[in-house]
Structure 1
Amino acid sequence: MRLSALFWSFFRVGIFGFGGGPSMLPLVHAEAVTRHGWLTDEEFADILAIGNTLPGPIATKMPGYIGYRVAGTAGLVVSVVAVTLPMIVAMIAMLGVFSRYRDVAWIRGMGQAVVPVVMIMMAQLTWDFFDKSRASLGWWLSGLIAIVSGALIYWLGIHPGFIIGALLIGALIGPGKAKKKASQINAKEPT
């Protein structure tokens, strides 16, 4: 039952995820978090952050990890096959059509017409992540991290993986210091 649910969920993602990995993320979120409850929003955000630091396409890393988490190695294989199968078939078919009818205006316009839809899906996912970040970190810190990260990525050309990795290391180191200080303060207070 789980393997069947994984297959059809990620098959839908593969069919409707026009535009590559980043455009598939809202669809993966809808299937894994909203529809099936395999992950929470926080777990999805953590997996996305870690997945972006690793090499390879996010379109297969996310389904692969979610499939493994839900149904072990068989779930991993089923999820990756399900998400890539429609892409492979569509790529072969579309390349054949495109090479034959490349000068037809509606063929060129087909790809351009989907871009605004993908843009809205990405904007919705971005707002959802910012809203979750704001709830846990507050407006100022969330905004500051977003602005600094944007500047580092777009103006200085630093790869997002390095920024995410630095934030993960900071999160691993930071809370330990805060907890240690809090326990030292509590130990000093007389009861």
Structure 2
Amino acid sequence: MKALIVIGTLLLNLTIFAQSEEVLRISGKFVTKKGIQGVDTDLYFRIKDKAGKSYAYPVRISDSKLKASIQKNMKKTYTIEAIAKQKNIKINETSRFVHILDVKSATTFELKSLGISDEDDVNREPDIPYYDRENPANSKGGYRVSDKAANSIIFAAGAALLGALIVK
């Protein structure tokens, strides 16, 4: 009976604390690099970081239809869902771990889809105020303040600065 409780508790702990693999969603391009020793694939996924530096990770694609569609459209930008795994490879009798992306799905991604389409284009005033010196009536944006109000603001600011200097 004790053994059954211990085994049950062990199985319960294993199921509770088991970690599922993290699925990464990454955008980039597929590239082909041949002749790299120790890696059993010629297909790599290239991404760029914020600094503009490029990294290429070997990919493993188990779905043959997905692999065929990627081979056909190599120049397109893709968004992939992949699981990052490590593989132990040997290069000249030296063993080392390499990160491999196990691709589960891949969809093409058009950069023009980020822009505003022509249908959503709305005429609006510019966000930056524009003052037309030749014709002040054509000025857009900003606030109109009368000369009397502007002089009052300047006088009050000067008085506040003078008061701050005198207090010190």
Instruction: Indicate the structure with greater helix content.
Output: 1
TM-score, normalisation: structure 1: 0.19
Q: Whose radius of gyration is greater, 1 or 2? A: 2
Tell which has more relative contact order, 1 or 2 (C-alpha 8 A, sep 6+): 1
Instruction: Indicate the structure with greater strand content.
Output: 2
